[in-house]
Structure 1
Amino acid sequence: MTGDTLDFGPRRHPRRMSLTPMIDVVFLLLIFFMLSSRFGMDAVLPVTGGAEGTGSEWQGAPRLVDIAPAGVSLNGVAIDPEALVADLSALMPADDAAVILRPHQGADLQRLVDVMDRLRAGGIANMILVE
């Protein structure tokens, strides 16, 4: 102590705030929003209806291929996967007509890919995958 003043030693500078926690939070938010975003466009089947009386762009017979764990069915009727392309071709009004593929709960992804490959090899390229 010197006289009437107290001496606390050399004056320290206030500690700077660290930006590391804020940067961590920003990166976590960035990752969250990137993972929760949808980047692709869903294929939409254009169907109009209601009181307008207008038709839809869908033409011809229904072409719904169900992929189940036990097998494949066309419009609700069980079918041999080898005969799928031939039976679908009879229902197609045009070569570029759409076919709807609907995998069921428990169906293998490989079975779906096999059906899609079989249809592509048979000349059917316009496929719509629905849940």
Structure 2
Amino acid sequence: MRNRLNLSLPAELIGRINDLADRKRLTRSAVVEAAVESFLSPDHADMQEAALGRRLDRLSRQIARLERDQRITTETLALFVRFWLTITPPIPAEEQASAQAKGRERFEGFVETLGKRMQQGKQFPNEFPGDRPK
């Protein structure tokens, strides 16, 4: 047995109900009944909470990987700069022009190599053991 229920809804909501009913080829009553049933279902809140928990867990893992990669990048740069400053002797003034030209040439080679690695999907942080992205 079915009972009639008259209710007032905003025009925009009625329009959305009509659109959904047309797309799904259902009656408006069926759309509203399914929505109310879903809202009143005791599992509805649990399902939403579980889905939200899964999303938060995934975001937490992604942030942990980003933090790890950032630490690796920072340490790599610091180690390189310390090493470079330690072993690089000052260049006499008469040799600076040729040293700068050689530096530009080396930098272009570096950028080219970096571009190739990125195209191949190789990433430096993934070369470290431990918490690797899946």
Q: If each structure's helix is expressed as a fraction of its own residues, which one has the higher value?
A: 2
Q: If each structure's strand is expressed as a fraction of its own residues, which one has the higher value?
A: 1
Q: Do they superpose with TM above 0.5?
A: no
Give TM-score scaled by structure 2 length. Answer: 0.29
